[in-house]
Chain A
Amino acid sequence: MIPVYIVTGFIGSGKSTFINEQLQHRKKLGGTACISAEEGSVPLIKEGLQLNPDRLSAIKPNEPDTYSSIANEIASYIDKVKPKEIWIEWNGMISFHQLEALLYSDKLRHLLQIEKVLYICTDQFVASILPGLGNDVTSQLYSADCIITETNTHHALLRTYNSDAKIVTAPTPEKVAELCRNSTWGLIPNLLVISITAYILLVTAFRHDIPYSIHQCFAIITGLIIEAIPFLLLGTIGSTVIRYFVPQRILLKLLGNHSWKSYGAAMVSGLALPVCDCAIIPLFKALTDRGVPLSVALLFMLASPIINPITILSTWYAFPDNPMISVWRIILGLGVALLVALSFRFIPPSTSMMKAKTAQNLSYEEIVLEASKSKHINKGRLLIHMEKEFSQLLFYFSIAACVLSVVQVYGKPWLINAGITLPDVWAIPILLILAFFFSVCSTSDAIIGKSLSTLFPMSSVMGFLILGPMLDIKNVYILKQYMPTSFILRLGLTIVVISYLAALGFQFFLS
C-alpha cells in the first residue's frame, strides 16, 4: 500500500508552494509522485499527473462508471512511476467525497492508503469567502486531519466545520513532517477501547471483588436505556416525518402573526408533533427564518415538548397511581411557556443581540447528500437523518442515565442516612438544577422524575418535569448553533425563574 497525502484548499491558498516545501524538506523526490487536480499559478517542482477538474467534478460516487477511466489512468501512472509515496493536490471546489470515490475504487483501493488530509487556508478566505461556499468545500474541511492557517484569528470558526482536526498556524516544514507521521487513530476510539476493556474486566474477572453498588450502577444505566429506547425511537420517527412530509406553509398559515389564534396554535401544535425537545429547536429556527414572530416560535419550541403525546403517555405511564400529575404537568408547563414567550413579546431582545450566527451542524453523510444537490427525498436520506438524530438523543440520554445511576446508588442512601430533610424551598432549586444537568429527553424524563419522587417532594419533581423539556444541557448545546449566547442566557434565566414560581405555586395550592 502506498501512503497518500492529500493537500486541499481554496485556489490561491498556497497548496503548490506547500507541497514543494514538503518535498524539498523530505528529500525523497525520487520516490514521490504528485497528482494535481488544480490549475494553479505555481508549478510543482516534481512534475506529476495532471487531472482535469471538469472530469473530476463529473464523478458520481454511486456510479463507478463515472470514475473508472480516471482510476485506470492513475493506476497506470502508479504502475509506471512506482512511487514510495504520493502527494495529491486536490481541487478546492470539488467535493472530497468524489476524491474518496476515486481512491476507494476497485482499481485503486488495494494500491493506495490515505495517510493524511491537510487543508490549507488563508485568513482572508476563512473570513470572507468560506461562509458563502457550499458543501463541497465543507466536505473537504470536515475530512481534514490538519488545518493549516496563516494566523490564529479564525480558529473558532474553523472548529465549527471540523471539531477534531489539528489546527496549526504557519507551521515549519519540520512541524508538518511530524504532523504527517502522527497516528490518525483519535481520542474517542482510544477511550472507547479502554473503557470497554475496563468495564468487561470489572464485571467478569473482578465481579466478586468490586462492591455490589458498582454493579447496581451499571444495571440502572441499562434499565434506563432499555426503557427509553422505544420513546427515543418514536420521537426520532416523528420528527423525521414532520421535517420531510409536512409542508412548511401549513405551519406558517397557523403561526404567522401575534394573534391569540397563533399563540393557541403554537401551544397545541405539539399535540400533533410527537417530537422531542431537541428535534423542536431546528423547527424553531426554521419558523423564525420564515417570518414567524419570535415569541410565537418560542412558545412553539417551549410548549411542544411538554404537550407532545409521547410525553403525556410516558408521564401517565410513569405515575400510574396519580394521573393528575400528567394533567398538572401540561397545565403548568403551558403556563410557563406562555409567560416566557410573552416576556419576549413585550420586551423584545435588541436587534444587535439577535445578530445572526450560523454554524455547521451537519454530519458528513448529510454534507455529501447536500453537495450532491439532489432535492429528492430518498430512503437513504431519511435513514441517515433518523440514525443521526437517534444516536444523538441516545448519547445525551446515556450521559443522563450515568449521572442518575450514581445519584440513585450513592446519593440517595447518603441523603437518607445523613438525615437531612431538605425544606421544600431548597428541594425545588436542586431539582431544577438536576433537570438542567440530566438533560433527559422530554419523552422519557417522567421515568426519571418518578424515581426522584421517592427522594424529593412532589412539588420539586413537578419543577423538574416542567423545566426539563424547556431547558437543559442538550437544548442549550443545540440552540447555541442558531442563537447568540446572550439570547440563550436571557431565555434560560426567564425559564428558571418562572418554573420555580410554578413549582412553588404547585406546592402551596395543589399538593
Chain B
Amino acid sequence: MKLGLKDRFSIVKGLLYLILGICCVYLIVTGRYLNYIAPRYELLLGISSIALILGGLATVIWAPSRYYKHNWRSIVPIIIPVVLLIVPPVLVPTTGVQGAARINDDTNNFDFTNDAIGEVITVNSESKEPGISKDKKEIVLNSDNFYQTIVKVGSNIDQYKDYTVYMTGYVNRDDNTLKSNEFTISRMAMSCCIADVAPIGMTAHKADGDSLANEQWVSIEGKVSTRDFHGRQQPYVEITKIKSAEPILGYVYP
C-alpha cells in the first residue's frame, strides 16, 4: 500500500515507539541509564529497546488504511517517556551529593600527605587495591564495592574488627541519634531505580569531628570498631586520618 493511503496517526504512533526505542539505546550506550536505574536492568532495557524499535517499524510498515478519527489518548503514554527522555530534568542537585553519570571516577587515592584539612600525615603514598584484604587487614571501599562491603562488614562485624578502612564519601549528619563529633561517611545508593535512592555509609567518629561541614566530601583512614547500639553490636569507624576529597558523582549499587 502506498504511504499516502496509510493511516497517518498509526505512522506517528510507530515513529514515537521508534524514538522511544532509540532513546533507550542512547541511554545504554552513553551509560546515562545509570542515572535512573540500577545496572542489573541493563540487559532487560536493551532487549526492550530493540523490541520497541522493531514494534515501531512494524507499526509504520503494517499501518492500516487511513482513518478519520484518531484516538489521541493512545499516544499519551508513549509521548510521556519520549519527552521526559529527550528533554530530561536536572538530575544533579547543587550540593553534588548524588549525581549524573560518573564524571570523575574514584581515584582510589588514599595518599594523605597532601592534606587540605590540615592533619599531618605521611603514610600511604600509593593508591590502594579495592576490596577486603585479610592479609593486610585492610578494607578499601570504592564505587563498585561500596554497598556490598558495608553490608558484609555490618553482618560479620566480629570478623572485621580492627581492620583498617579506607573510604571516600560525604559527611552525612541526617542521623539525629549521633553526637556532634559523629557522622556517617555516606554515598547515595540506588537499589532499583531513582525512586529509591538513599544514603548508605558507615558511622564514623572523630574527636574534633564537629568541625566538618555537612555534605563535605572526605577521604578517610580509620579503624573498624564496634559499640553497643540498642543491644546490637554496631560497627563504626574511628577516624585516624582525613582529608577533603573531590566529590564522586554517581550512585553505588547493591
Residues of A within 8 A of B (CB): 61-62, 64, 96-97, 100-101, 104-106, 109, 114, 117, 142-143, 145, 186, 188-189, 192, 196, 199-200, 203-204, 207, 212, 214-227, 229-231, 233, 317-318, 320-321, 363-365, 368, 379-380, 383, 386-388, 391-392, 394-395, 397-398, 404-405, 408, 447-448, 450-451, 454
Contact = CB atoms under 8 A, between A and B. Distances in A.
Contact of B194 (A219, A318, A380, A448): A219
B83 A391 contact: no
B195 A451 contact: yes
Interface string B38-53: 0011001101100110
A224 B5 contact: no
Contact of A229 (B24, B67, B84, B91): B24
Contacts of B191: 318, 320, 450
B80 A225 contact: yes
Q: Which 10 A-B pairs have the closest CB atoms?
A: A223-B194, A394-B77, A218-B89, A223-B36, A451-B196, A230-B44, A215-B89, A395-B77, A188-B72, A223-B193
Most chain B CB within a 10 A radius of its CB, from A106, A186, A200, A451: A451
Given A106-B2, A227-B37, A398-B76, 10 more contacts: A104-B5, A117-B69, A220-B194, A223-B36, A233-B52, A383-B62, A397-B77, A404-B195, A447-B192, A451-B192
Interface string B58-97: 1100101111110111111111110111011111011000
Interface residues of B, number: 60
B81 A225 contact: yes
Nearest to A368: B64
Contacts of B198: 454
Contact of B76 (A186, A188, A317, A363): A188
Contact of A222 (B13, B41, B73, B81): B81
Contact of A230 (B47, B76, B195): B47
Contacts of A142: 69
Given A61-B65, A62-B65, A225-B80, A219 B91 contact: yes
B196 A106 contact: no
B55 interface: yes
A212 B93 CA distance: 7
A424 to B, nearest CB: 19
Interface of B: 1-2, 4-5, 13, 17, 24, 27, 33, 35-37, 40-41, 44-45, 47-48, 51-52, 55, 58-59, 62, 64-69, 71-81, 83-85, 87-91, 93-94, 151, 191-196, 198, 254
Given A227-B192, A404-B195, A387 B67 contact: no
Contacts of A379: 58, 62
Given A192-B79, A398-B80, A222 B36 contact: yes
Contact of B195 (A62, A380, A448): A448
A6 to B, nearest CB: 8
Contacts of A224: 193-195
Most chain A CB within a 10 A radius of its CB, from B87, B89, B194, B198: B89
A114 B36 contact: no
Contacts of B65: 61-62, 97, 100-101, 104
Most chain B CB within a 10 A radius of its CB, from A64, A196, A225, A392: A225
A182 to B, nearest CB: 15
B59 to A, nearest CB: 6
Nearest to B66: A104
B91 A364 contact: no
Given A229-B45, A364-B67, A454-B198, A222 B84 contact: yes
Nearest to A386: B55
| Binding site secondary structure of chain A | helix
Given A192-B76, A192-B79, A230-B47, A204 B196 contact: no
Given A230-B45, A450-B191, A215 B91 contact: yes
A391 B56 CA distance: 12
B188 to A, nearest CB: 12
A379 B67 CA distance: 19
A192 B79 CA distance: 9
Contacts of A100: 65-68
A106 B5 contact: yes
Contact of A395 (B73, B83, B192, B194): B73
18 contacts: A143-B68, A203-B88, A203-B89, A215-B90, A217-B89, A219-B91, A222-B36, A222-B194, A223-B36, A226-B45, A229-B48, A230-B41, A231-B44, A233-B52, A383-B62, A388-B74, A395-B73, A397-B77
A321 B192 contact: no
Contacts of B36: 219, 222-223, 226-227
Given A188-B76, A229-B45, A218 B84 contact: yes
